[in-house]
């Protein structure tokens, strides 16, 4: 009898543990929150390690470029002074340095691409299925509709700010990967101007698109916002897809933060 009761207790305990684990991996309950935090920590740690590798290669490449420039200048000086005795030897060294730079540049580009792919996978920027679309955005970041000008008024304020915060984090990492710079933007909070938030996010997204040659040099900012909005721009950037748009021959809206702010003010629904 005691053995039977013990078996029942063990089975009940196994069932309870199973439920906790199932709920945890589904993101529910205290265990779920702990697992999510652990997942975010592990992913962020991996991104940081990858970013360190990218910067290490970039530093080596910068050092090679400096060395190459010094050798070329030295070679020019020797030829100018007609001291050609060692010119051939220097030319060979310059050729070797050029080859080394080319190889390092290729390694850097590969590492950047790997890191960026990891970043996009982590933030899970996806295009919604028509059936699952929330009608607030055709795209999601961390399974949340991406903030966009068109549906600003229809998003709950808390979710709008949270979406903007996710986008800001994604852009900050991307700037570090592709432009090797951080961002001095003030972290987005509830008490900030929505127009200012949008303007800064759009401005930095355009910088990234230009750096990756995903928009034309004379792109019309107004046209690209009408066609894609912020969410579409981010999705195309994450997939490395060129954004076709009209050119702005008059350059009426150069991509400065102030001009983008004027555009956003004129395009965003009344808030």
The answer, yes or no, to whether residue 211 has pLDDT greater than 50, is: yes
pLDDT given at position 88: 60
Least confident of 27-41, 206-220, 253-267: 27-41
Q: Is 241 exposed, middle or buried (CB count within 10 Å of its CB: 0-12, 13-18, 19+)?
A: exposed
Least confident of 10-14, 103-107, 201-205: 10-14
The answer, yes or no, to whether residue 30 has pLDDT greater than 60, is: no
Distance of alpha carbon 174 from alpha carbon 116, whole angstroms: 7
Distance of alpha carbon 8 from alpha carbon 2, whole angstroms: 10
In contact, 104 and 61? CB cutoff 8 Å: yes
Report domain extents, the chain: 12-123, 145-271
The answer, yes or no, to whether residue 24 has pLDDT greater than 50, is: no
pLDDT given at position 41: 53
Distance of alpha carbon 247 from alpha carbon 253, whole angstroms: 11
In contact, 220 and 245? CB cutoff 8 Å: yes
Does the reported pTM lie above 0.85? no
Distance of alpha carbon 176 from alpha carbon 168, whole angstroms: 12
**Section 228-245 average pLDDT:** 94
pLDDT given at position 268: 83
Helix (H) or strand (E) run with residue 144 in it: strand 144-145
The residues with which 247 forms a beta bridge, in sequence order, are 219
pLDDT given at position 176: 86
Residue 177, both tokens: 């990967």
* Lookup result for tokens 């928009």: 215
In contact, 231 and 205? CB cutoff 8 Å: no
The answer, yes or no, to whether residue 27 has pLDDT greater than 50, is: no
Residue 78, both tokens: 């020797």
The answer, yes or no, to whether residue 171 has pLDDT greater than 60, is: yes
pLDDT given at position 5: 56
> Minimal CA–CA distance to 233: which of 242, 135, 163?
242
Residues 6+ apart with CB under 8 A from 143: 124
The answer, yes or no, to whether residue 23 has pLDDT greater than 60, is: no
Distance of alpha carbon 232 from alpha carbon 227, whole angstroms: 8
pLDDT given at position 114: 85
pLDDT given at position 121: 87
Classify residue 29 as left (phi > 0), alpha (psi -120 to 50) or beta: left
Count the Cβ atoms, other than its own, within 10 Å of residue 142. 17
Of all residues in the chain, the percent with pLDDT exceeding 90 is: 22
pLDDT band at 3 (very low <50, low <70, confident <90, very high): low
Distance of alpha carbon 56 from alpha carbon 59, whole angstroms: 5
Distance of alpha carbon 95 from alpha carbon 71, whole angstroms: 10
């Amino acid at each position: 009898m005691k053995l039977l009761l013990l078996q029942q207790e063990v089975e009940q305990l196994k069932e309870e543990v199973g439920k906790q684990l199932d709920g945890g991996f589904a993101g529910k309950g205290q265990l779920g929150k702990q697992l999510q935090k652990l997942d975010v920590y592990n992913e962020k740690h991996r991104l940081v390690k990858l970013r360190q590798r990218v910067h290490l290669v970039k530093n080596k490449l910068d050092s090679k470029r400096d060395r190459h420039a010094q050798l070329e200048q030295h070679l020019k000086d020797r030829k100018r002074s007609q001291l050609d005795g060692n010119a051939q030897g220097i030319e060979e060294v310059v050729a070797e340095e050029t080859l080394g730079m080319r190889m390092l540049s290729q390694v850097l580009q590969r590492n950047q691409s790997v890191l960026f792919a990891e970043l996009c996978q982590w933030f899970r920027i996806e295009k919604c299925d028509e059936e699952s679309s929330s009608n607030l955005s055709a795209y999601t970041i961390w399974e949340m509709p991406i903030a966009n000008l068109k549906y600003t008024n229809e998003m709950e304020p808390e979710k709008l700010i949270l979406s903007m915060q996710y986008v800001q984090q994604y852009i900050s990492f991307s700037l570090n990967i592709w432009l090797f710079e951080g961002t001095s933007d003030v972290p987005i909070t509830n008490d900030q101007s929505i127009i200012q938030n949008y303007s800064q996010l759009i401005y930095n997204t355009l910088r990234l698109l230009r750096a990756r040659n995903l928009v034309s040099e004379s792109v019309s900012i107004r046209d690209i916002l009408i066609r894609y909005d912020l969410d579409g721009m981010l999705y195309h950037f994450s997939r490395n897809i060129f954004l076709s748009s009209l050119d702005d021959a008059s350059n009426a809206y150069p991509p400065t933060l102030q001009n983008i702010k004027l555009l956003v003010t004129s395009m965003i629904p009344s808030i």
